[in-house]
Amino acid sequence: MLLTLTRHAPNAADIGYVLGKNPASVFQREFSGGVVWAFYPEVSDEHVTIALVTEIDPIALVRGPAPLTHLGQYINDRPYVASSLTSVALRVAFSSALSGKGAHDERDTPARWVVKLPAVACDAGEEMITRILAPLGYAVTVTQAPLDARFPQWGPADIYSVTLEGETTAHNLLSHLYVLLPVLDNTKHYYVGDDESEKLLAHGGEWLAGHPERELIARRYLRYKRPLVESALARLAERDPALSEAEAEAGADQPSDPAEQAQGLHEQRLNTVMAAIREVGARSLADLGCGEGRLLTLAMRERELTRLFGMDVSSVALARAARRLHVDSLSAAQRARLTLAQGSLLYRDERLAGFDVAALVEVIEHLDAARLNAMERVVFHHAQPKRVIVTTPNRDYNVHWEAVGEQRLRHHDHRFEWTRTECQAWAERVARTYRYRAVWQGIGPEEPDIGAPSQMVIFDRDADAADTLVAAGTETVRQTTS
């Protein structure tokens, strides 16, 4: 079985560090199913290809601790197709890039990858392959192989040559393959026990929750074991980005119709942000961490905004944004106003330069606190929009919600939530460091002592800080720097 991964990016060879594989040597290791090799057939400044080859011993499989009696005994396709054995080989060869550690490797910047899988076994055909892989942001090309090229009358095999092309990180790419190759193959070479759903959540947690076919994927990955599938789906549902802040807040709220209230809060937040965009007569807007494109939907209605850029690290979120914004059916003129792109706020990105306003709506609390300074440099030092609008939950307010309380955070993916004082201190420091002026305000209904549920900071680049800002208005406005 052969699998090649090509990364197209400048200094492509740096990926050797991320994968923990020296481009100059060949990696070889025995594992339970056979032997795996990883090596680099091509290395240049522009692109680098990594090949993974496995030699599977079908006889050992049949005789092994979990014999595959249904696999046609001693003669089977296992040595030749991508399967759960390939996933094991991927884990053996690229353990650190595939693990949570890989997810935090700064050198693993998103880049264009082309993956070639010459033989993917799939019992449910081409359509299933596309249905499962395309929502992750890949362009998928599938060609069905004949059973035997010498005897065309025998017809096609359930084996497909698959090429994936997309912009992502090595960690994401490997975790997609690790989870999905066995899903396509729909067989496993070992007994699926309780720990299998842990594995699914560990490797798929970041992207599977928002995948439109997560149910199908969980069923096939967990070999249709209903209790496992149900518990995995329940846990994934908690992580669904669609169950975003708005709904998490809804779940936490108690008054008469909490869902409506919290939905109302996110709307109010977005309207407040839109007002701050209009206030400076912005012509261009970068929505960083745009999620499903809720702010962009409002921004598209503003004629003055001629250039809209939505960026998110999640391809699933971007696919949803494209749907929400009806990207496919926009007129050419409307289409030209809008760009959606995958990218991370933690890495310098030329595409972010030259915007009047950048908005980070309920995004910073999703970044590790230790990485916030990376975001600050990217946004305030390199991109340098005239105005930066940041919103984030107000932790002081959490006690108002019984289900959240003093100790918990509002959403499982939040790395922190700031009190008003913490937020203001941060804003002050950032403004001082990067020569911006910061104005803080609460968003949502104010309660005595605990303030409003959400908070916002408007940063204006010092050179052209508008006078209007200081007069921004209500009692909740407080100028934190001057």
Binder of ligand SAH out of 314, 394, 424, 441 (CB under 6 A): 314
Is residue 205 near ligand SAH by the rule CB under 6 A?
no
145 sits in the region (left: phi over 0; alpha: psi -120 to 50; else beta) called beta
Nearest residue (CB) to ligand SAH, 243 versus 450? 243
Whole-number Å distance between alpha carbons of 167 and 138: 8
Whole-number Å distance between alpha carbons of 459 and 386:
8
Q: Which of 354, 358, 249, 365 is nearest to 299 (CA)?
A: 358
Do the Cβ atoms of 13 and 23 come closer than 8 Å? yes
Please check whether residue 184 is in contact with residue 177, taking contact to mean a CB–CB distance below 8 angstroms. no
Indicate whether 453 belongs to the interface with ligand SAH (CB under 6 A): no
Nearest distance from C-beta of residue 297 to ligand SAH, angstroms: 10
Q: What is the DSSP letter of 447?
A: B
Nearest approach in angstroms of CB 309 to ligand SAH is 12
Find residue 478's DSSP bridge partners: 440
Q: Minimum distance between the CB of residue 73 and ligand SAH, rounded to whole angstroms?
A: 47
HEC letters along 117-178? EEEEECCCHHHHHHHHHHHHCCEEEEEEEECCCCCHHHCEEEEEEEEEEEEECHHHHHHHHH
Please report how close the Cβ of residue 126 comes to ligand SAH at its closest, in angstroms.
30
Q: How far is the CB of 352 from ligand SAH (least distance, A)?
A: 11
Taking a C-beta distance cutoff of 8 angstroms, is the pair 68, 61 a contact? yes
- 363 near ligand SAH (CB under 6 A): yes
Q: Which stretch binds ligand SAH (CB under 6 A): 200-208, 285-293, 423-431, 444-452?
A: 285-293
Instruction: State the number of binding residues for ligand SAH (CB under 6 A).
Output: 18
Whether the Cβ atoms of residue 293 and residue 482 lie closer than 8 Å to each other: no
Of 362, 396, 417, 460, the one binding ligand SAH (CB under 6 A) is 362
Which DSSP letter does residue 256 get? S
Are the beta carbons of 306 and 337 closer than 8 angstroms?
yes
Does residue 273 belong to the site contacting ligand SAH (CB under 6 A)? no
Candidates 81, 201, 299, 313; binder of ligand SAH (CB under 6 A) is: 313
Q: What is the DSSP string of 339-352?
A: EEEE--TTS--GGG
Positions of E strands within 226-304: 284-288
At closest approach, how far in Å is the CB of 50 from ligand SAH? 25
Residue 388 touches ligand SAH, criterion: CB under 6 A: no
Q: Does 189 bind ligand SAH (CB under 6 A)?
A: no
Out of 52, 159, 236, 317, the only residue in the binding site for ligand SAH (CB under 6 A) is: 317
Q: Does 320 bind ligand SAH (CB under 6 A)?
A: no
Chain positions 342 to 361 lying near ligand SAH, rule: CB under 6 A, are: 344-346, 361
The answer to whether residue 117 forms part of the interface with ligand SAH (CB under 6 A) is no
Q: Which of residues 212-251 bind ligand SAH (CB under 6 A)?
A: 241, 244
| CA distance from start to end of the chain | 64
Is residue 312 a contact point for ligand SAH (CB under 6 A)?
A: yes
| Cα-based angle 155, 124, 82 (whole degrees, multiple of 5) | 85
Indicate whether 185 belongs to the interface with ligand SAH (CB under 6 A): no
Q: Does 289 sit near ligand SAH (CB under 6 A)?
A: yes
**Residue 93 Cβ vs ligand SAH, minimum distance, rounded to whole Å:** 27
284/454 with CB nearer ligand SAH: 454
Considering the complex, state which of residue 312 and residue 376 has its C-beta at the smaller distance from ligand SAH: 312
Q: Give the other-Cβ count within 10 Å of 46's Cβ.
A: 10
345 vs 303: CA distance, rounded Å: 27
Please give the Cα distance from 402 to 320 (Å, whole number).
Answer: 31
The residue whose Cβ lies closest to ligand SAH is 291
Could you tell me which of 60, 59, 40 has the C-alpha nearest to residue 50?
A: 40
- Using rule CB under 6 A, residue 294 touches ligand SAH: yes
Instruction: Determine, following the binding rule CB under 6 A, whether residue 378 of this chain makes contact with ligand SAH.
Output: no
- CB-nearer residue toward ligand SAH: 125 or 251: 251
Structure tokens, 243 = 């169950």
Least Cβ distance, residue 241 to ligand SAH (angstroms): 6
Binding site for ligand SAH (CB under 6 A): 241, 244, 289-291, 294, 312-314, 317, 344-346, 361-363, 366-367
